[in-house]
Structure 1
Amino acid sequence: MPCIGPHLPRASLPGVLLVAAAASLAPAETSVKAHTLFAESTGSRFKPIGIYNDGQSTTALEVRRATTGGTISGTFTNSGSALHIAGDNAPSVAVVLRDDGTQGDVVAGDGIYTLWPITSAKATDQFENRLHWNTYHLSLDGGGGTISTKLGIVDSGISYATRVLGTDVDGHLITSSDFIVNIQDDALVDGSLSGNVSENLGAITDKLYSVFDDRFDYLVFISVLKTDNGTNTYFGFRNEVSGLGNSGFGPPYDSTGLFGIPPAEKNSGVFNGIAYINDGGSSIYGALHHELMHRWGVSFGSELGFPFGSHWNGVPAPGEAYVAAFVGALGGAEVTENGDNTITIRAVPATVYPPLELYLMGLIGPGEVPDTTYYRYNQSDQSIIEIFHLSIDDITTTFGPRNPGVADSQKEFAAAFVVITPPGEPLTAAETAMYSVAAEHFGSDAPGDGAVSGALIRTPASFAWGTGFRGTMNTTLFVRPSPVIRTVTVDAGTVSLGITGAAATAYDVYRSPDLVTWGTPIGSATTSNQGDGTGTGTYDDTTAGAGTLFYRLAEQ
């Protein structure tokens, strides 16, 4: 996808720099259709998209069809027998989906066919044995095709406390755990080049910054609805680094004031861009490393004498393609020359950022970057057209050295994970845990397990591990300060406590006459949200009476 310079007002926002992910060695297809739920004639989702493995939490598979009413039938491929479909966990289950308002179907005749109930008791084996992600396939009878849909299974012992941060302009609650924010919005981010995409970005960021300050380098937007016409995308709003290249995200720019993201009154110069993951499922698998890496590249263009696009592989002309002979977050592959002027390409997922990407990120110096090789070839038979070698000296001579260099570059980053759900569909406890685990993992120092499932690492590496611990990504939304009683006032027998603590957090208030006997809470106090992870609150003890009293707080 081309990069577009920032020149237009926020009303349309097509001027935001953006790069879409390529799903394979071929370029990603981009649609210009506006998003609606199930925008295509067919589509599907699990609702909710994550369930506990307690054998009791239920989800439904919803399939949108062009027809309405009655039933449709098919065969459900139960990968690993992980799910119980109305009690049946055979590897292949014959199923009937209903659009008649019965057996879990919400509305008869709306074209949404429902399979319910679906439960799971599968042991989790990913993300430190806290999650299990998989894609399930439904083959419809009568040549109706195959529909593939992702579902997350969460260990039933995992939970994350949530808090209410505020109410948005549409009257929906904004809630969060320590690692994710849930925003309900009916203009779901599409991630394609449709006319309303950037308005969606603005609406959602406005809601986010109504409860947070500008303290995140990156926002990660995740839609629980995967749209057929959407593409994982990085939207760039600011770059203060030079030496990255002269195309795409390379030249320094600042579009934050032009587009009001973040709002002017909150803009402190921290925010850089938004990684949008158009995937109701595995939000952290590969795509997140990939989209965030677009913050720094690829922005070489053709000035180095090779037709670079925005990835380490691409299609510069019809019938031709190119690929880097290394594996990175932005593509590339393992390439073998066969000795007959052809190559064999083995696409494998990246487990760490390679040296060239680490240099662009500012995490290593130019002296640590080896020469890299690129092959331009005919797609029909993978015969070699050109072999191109690139040195770090070629890059610095053409674009100048990276500035700031490794000694002065930023190495500690912060990201806010924002999960976007339709209005009236706040995240369930299992979904909150599922996305919180993914966000917490990305900000930890945990390695990936190295196992490959299809084209994905089963448990991907954290950002820090992928950089060789040269950089960190803080995904914690809130500091967890201990609650403190800052002020105490007494008036006509009422003791008023002024409290500070974590943002939007409920605390039990205890009272003791002797610092020994505390008993049960006498009440509770909830702190406000200051936008920086802290909050303040008050509690009035109207039954204090006379004498010396002691108070303490405990988070609920």
Structure 2
Amino acid sequence: MLIFVALVSGCGYRYFLPGASVTQHLENLVVMETSKTDFGPNMTRTISICREFYRHYEDEFDVLVLIAHNPEYIEDLWGDGYSGRMKVVRNAVAGIGVETLDIGNLFGSEHRLKGVVRLVHPKHVFDETLLHELMHLWKSDLDVIPSTEQGHWGFSSVGGQLGGFQLDDLRSLGDGKYSAGNFAPQRALESVPYSPLEMYLAGWIPPSEVSDIWVAEDGSWLMSKWIKGRRYVQKDAEGNRVFKARKISTWTIERIVDKLGPRSPSFEHSQKEFRVAFVYVTTGRAPREELELASTEFYIRQFTKKGPVSTWLKGVLKVDSRYNFWEATRGIASIETGDLQSFRH
């Protein structure tokens, strides 16, 4: 089945969207079926799934999270190396790393939807992926500090969900070479809370709580010579990867505010409670076990819990630390998913 959508913006555009249909309504999860779970890179299928959701539910959600039924744990299911993606569809906040826009009606939302997250597997609800993608609501297409990684913090001391390192780990090795512990310029390699700069952009703390940021504006990994047809990132004596940079700068919060403008609304009046709907997307061909749905719902409850993750669960996952949304925001912000069925038409 194809869904026909006509949009008018200066001139007419016509889109034929692949079909999608809701098959099950659960406590905090909607199950939907479509011909393929390629909605990660496929925006037309993403739009189709979202529009089908709004045929059944009211426009009272800030974020939709689409999760692929992926029983074989194929990490590169979408063939692009991504485990998650965020599509920002509406933003009216000024002074952050996202342009103002409103294309929510294309996705079926008339007034509230801010973004659509797509996850390649249910486990990414409760690892760092969903925390990372949610931060793109406030940092995506506009530069906040100089970075060689579009939409991310790059080789800087931001040290948050969108990459960077902790300033205490920075070591100068001479001749424009540095190391900074185990980090990545585009994501957090370990479970970490949102950094002060991320918290400020999201509207959860005042600018006065953001420390100065060390930035390697032209940072890049220091690569080895070719060895058997491959090159490797060089490491320091402690085994940490080495990067190089010639243009180093310090970015104060005053400099950032001067560049972006003051955040509006300010943290005193910003949104701190969010309603999120999770959609489990299947093809109907691969068998779907009830245990898969149960574990997905369990991940959702733990991620949105207004309290710390249990010691028992961290033991099961064999991790020393694991932050849910409430913990990652220092208990300042929260996500609500309960009572989902009360929002049905």
Deviations 1:502-527 (A, max 9, x none): x5xxxxxxxxxxxxxxxxxxxxxxxx
Equivalent of 1:190 in 39, 54, 68: 39
1:467/1:388 CA distance change after superposition, 3 Å: same
Aligned partner of 1:359 in structure 2 is 200
Tell me if the contact between 2:125 and 2:303 (Cα under 8 Å) persists in the aligned partners: no
2:88 partner letter: G
Secondary structure of the equivalent of 2:79?
coil
1:291 aligns with 2:295: no
Q: How many residues align?
A: 297
The residue aligned with 1:35 is none
166, 171, 181: which one aligns with 2:30 = 181
Residue by residue over 1:251-290, the C-alpha shift from the partner in whole angstroms, topping out at 9 and shown as x without a partner, is 2110123x2x125xxx2x1111101112354432111001
Structure number with the higher helix fraction is 2
Q: Tell me: CA distance 1:10–1:414, structure 2 relative to 1, closer, same or farther (3 Å).
A: farther
Q: Is the 8 A contact 1:327 1:350 kept in 2?
A: no
Query: What amino acid sits opposite 1:332 in the alignment?
Result: G
Residue of structure 2 in register with 1:241 after alignment: 93
Partner residue, 2:331: 469
Deviates more, 1:380-389 or 1:356-365: 380-389
Q: Deviations over 1:450-469 (max 9, x none)?
A: 97999x95763221111011
* Contact residue 416 and residue 477 of structure 1 kept, 8 A: no
Corresponding residue for residue 200 of structure 1: 45
- Say whether residues 1:273 and 2:115 are aligned partners: yes
Task: Report deviation, 1:186.
Answer: 1.0
1:340 is aligned to 2:182: no
Secondary structure, counterpart of 2:197 in structure 1: helix
**Per-residue CA shift, 1:513-553, capped at 9, x if unaligned?**
xxxxxxxxxxxxxxxx7616xxxxxxxxxxxxxxxxxxxxx
1:204 Cα deviation (Å)?
A: 1.0
CA positional deviation for 1:372: 1.1
State the alpha-carbon separation in 1 of the partners of residues 152 and 13 from structure 2: 28
Whether contact under 8 Å (2:40, 2:78) holds in the other structure is: no
Residue 370 (structure 1) shift: 1.0
* C-alpha contact 1:184 1:425 (8 A) present in aligned 2: no
Aligned CA RMSD, in angstroms, stands at: 3.1
Tell me whether 279-288 or 269-278 shows the greater mean CA deviation: 279-288
Alpha-carbon distance in structure 2 between the residues aligned to 1:10 and 1:292: 30
C-alpha deviation, 1:409, in angstroms: 0.7
Q: 1:180 to 1:312 in 2, by over 3 A?
A: same
Asked if the contact 2:23–2:31 (Cα under 8 Å) also holds between the matched residues in 1, the reply is yes
Instruction: Say whether the 8 Å CA contact 1:223–1:279 is kept in structure 2.
Output: yes
Structure 1 residue identity aligned to 2:24: T
Counterpart of 2:163 (choices 331, 335, 345) is 331
Q: Structure 2 counterpart of 1:283, which letter?
A: V
Match of 2:29, as an amino acid?
Answer: I
SS of equivalent residue, structure 1 residue 324: coil
Matching residue within 79, 82, 88 for 1:229 = 79
Change in 2 beyond 3 A, CA 1:236/1:412: same
Describe how 1:255-266 pairs up with structure 2 within 5 A.
Answer: 255-257=103-105, 259=106, 261-262=107-108
Q: Which has the higher contact order (CA 8 A, sep 6+)?
A: 2
Any conservation in 2 of the 1:174–1:183 contact (CA below 8 Å)?
A: yes
Offset, 1:202: 2.0
Match in the other structure for 1:445: 306
Structure 1 residue identity aligned to 2:254 = D
The answer as to whether partners of 2:157 and 2:215 remain within 8 angstroms in 1 is yes
Q: Which amino acid aligns with 1:431?
A: E
Distance 1:221 1:367, change over 3 A: same
Letter in 2 for 1:358: M
Flag the 1:333–1:293 CA change in 2: closer, same or farther, 3 A: same
Q: Hey, what's the Cα distance between the residues in 1 that align with 2:250 and 2:300?
A: 37
How do 1:95-494 and structure 2 match up within 5 A?
174-192=23-41, 197-225=42-70, 226=74, 227-230=77-80, 231=82, 232-245=84-97, 250-257=98-105, 259=106, 261-262=107-108, 267=110, 269-279=111-121, 281-301=123-143, 309-313=150-154, 323-334=155-166, 335-341=169-175, 342-345=177-180, 346-347=182-183, 348-375=189-216, 376-379=218-221, 380=223, 382-424=243-285, 427-448=288-309, 460-478=322-340
Distance (whole Å) between structure 1 residues aligned to residue 293 and residue 284 of structure 2: 16
Scaled by the length of structure 1, the TM-score of the pair is 0.49
Structure showing the higher strand proportion among its residues: 1
Larger Rg: 1
Deviations 1:19-41 (A, max 9, x none): xxxxxxxxxxxxxxxxxxxxxxx
Question: % of aligned pairs identical?
Answer: 23
Render the CA deviation track for 1:33-58: whole Å, top value 9, x for unaligned. xxxxxxxxxxxxxxxxxxxxxxxxxx
Distance 1:336 1:393 in 2: 23
Residue deviations 1:219-269, cap 9 Å, x none? 011102341514321011100101014xxxx22110123x2x125xxx2x1
5+ long unaligned stretches in structure 2:
1-8, 184-188, 224-233, 235-242
SS at match of 2:56: coil
Q: Distance in 1 between matches of 2:54 and 2:298?
A: 23
Which amino acid letter does the alignment assign opposite residue 254 of structure 1?
D
> TM-score, normalising length from structure 2?
0.76
Per-residue deviation, 1:422: 1.2
Report deviation, 1:305: 5.9
Structure 1 residue runs without a partner (length 5+): 1-5, 14-168, 314-322, 479-502, 504-528, 533-556
1:319-364: CA deviation from partner (whole Å, max 9, x where unpaired)? xxxx122421111124421442422231242421111000000011
Rounded to whole Å, the distance in 2 between the matches of 1:274 and 1:530 is 18
Check the 8 A contact 2:191/2:323 in 1, yes or no. Answer: no
Contact 1:359/1:369 (<8 A) preserved: yes
